[in-house]
Amino acid sequence: MGIRERMSGNEAVAHAIKQVNPDVMAAFPITPSTEIPQMVSTFIANGEIDTEFIPVESEHSSMSATMGACAAGARAITATSSCGLAFMWEVLYVAASDRLPVVMAVVNRALTGPININCDHSDSMGARDSGWLQIYAETNQEAYDNYIQSFLIAEHPDVRLPMMVCQDGFITSHAVMNIELIEDEKVKNFVGTYNPENYLLNADMPMAIGPYANSPFYMETKMNQRIAMKNAKKVILEVAKEFEKISGRKYGLFEEYKMDDAEYAIVIMGSAAGTTKDAVDALRAEGIKAGMIKIRVFRPFPGEELAAALSKVKAVAILDRAESFSGQGGPVGSELKAALMDAGVSAKAVNYFYGLGGRDYTVGDAEKVYRNLIDMTENGKKLEQFKYIGLRK
């Protein structure tokens, strides 16, 4: 029986960390993720968990220390946001290429500049090609659930890749919502103990971590990472099935909302999915067949699966919360458009940007997007690609 509670997203992730009781956490504070290591350090000080907390002088050091602990055989974690993630850039690639199953809570916040502490996805999207798995939450409940599942995904022998567990800064990280926690013993049994096959402190298997790899070896390393990323799709779904047994909550690579007969769809990620669902409900009441897909897993990108889910719609709007300054759209838009083309899906597609730097995204904004899709499909109106939603005149 679940435990009903009220928690912010940061509290929910910190509680999940307490239940998992990892071996090591290295962290440096940065808004809006600061509360996570703060709460974990309090749990340690109170004797509630025996995690070794490593205070460091920067985010580059926090990732380096986390990697070192993981390479030594420890279950190691960290948390960060925005410029903190950017400061880790160099070592993100090292962690992925060394196949270290580090789990990192990323509380999404706009990257400077100009200076901004509010939510968008520019931090984690900037690191989308670093070789890390990425999973996103709509609600505090999902942030908690995703975090617990992440260890079994990252540590799976067919994967062994680091993982970012993302939630929207302030929108979920600081907002208090009703949440259902899983009993400590169930979480402990679900996550189990981390028993790596190879690690630096294993005297029976001497090994090197982070060796120099010149041209005869580098490409093979990248290919192995690609294979692991591909394997992760199956593992994510398998872990979700096991998680459903202890929680009653079902997860996939993405969530479909009223898509069975949808003619017009929005594809979106994170907390704004809830706003979009309200718009879908309002339009359905008018007889408009609107639907929504919320991407949960961005890495590996479920392109084939998304294309299949969108194969029967007339038009789709793909909403990005990060600007990539590409002539072909945002990170989600460019990847999904390519997937639709590869699959031969004929639906008309338009890519929008929304919520950059914390700009409001309202139910009215979402409804307008749907009506634009209708206007494009029924009246032949040409829509502007890569338009900013809610841009001041």
Per-residue pLDDT tens digits for 280-292: 999 999 999 999 9
Please determine, for residue 372, whether its predicted confidence score (pLDDT) is greater than 80. Answer: yes
* Separation of alpha carbons 337 and 71, rounded Å: 38
For the chain, give the mean pLDDT. 96
**Does the pLDDT of residue 201 top 90, yes or no?**
no
| Each residue's pLDDT tens digit, 18-31 | 999 999 999 999 99
Q: What is the pLDDT of residue 208?
A: 81
Q: How confident is the model at residue 200, as a pLDDT? A: 87
Per-residue pLDDT band at 362 (split at 50, 70, 90):
very high
Confidence of residue 150 (pLDDT cuts 50, 70, 90): very high
223 and 341 housed in the same domain: no
Model pLDDT, residue 327: 82
Residues 184 and 332 in one domain: no
Both 183 and 327 in one domain: the answer is no
Residue type, 169: G
| Mean pLDDT to the nearest integer, 220-248 | 98
Q: In the prediction, which pLDDT does 205 show? A: 83
**Does the structure show a pLDDT above 90 at 236?**
yes
What is the CATH number for 179?
3.40.50.970
> Domain check: are 150 and 260 in the same one?
no
Banded pLDDT at 119 (limits 50, 70, 90): very high
What pLDDT is attached to residue 113?
Answer: 86
Instruction: Pick 212 or 182 by higher pLDDT.
Output: 182
User: The domain containing residue 142 runs over which residues?
Assistant: 3-194+214-247
Distance CA 361, CA 370 (A): 14
Q: Determine, yes or no, domain membership for 57.
A: yes
- pLDDT surpasses 90 at 197: no
Query: In this predicted structure, what is the pLDDT of residue 36?
Result: 98
Mean pLDDT along residues 130-141:
98
Same domain, yes or no: 231 and 267:
no
pLDDT at 110: 98
Assess if residue 208 is contained within a domain.
no
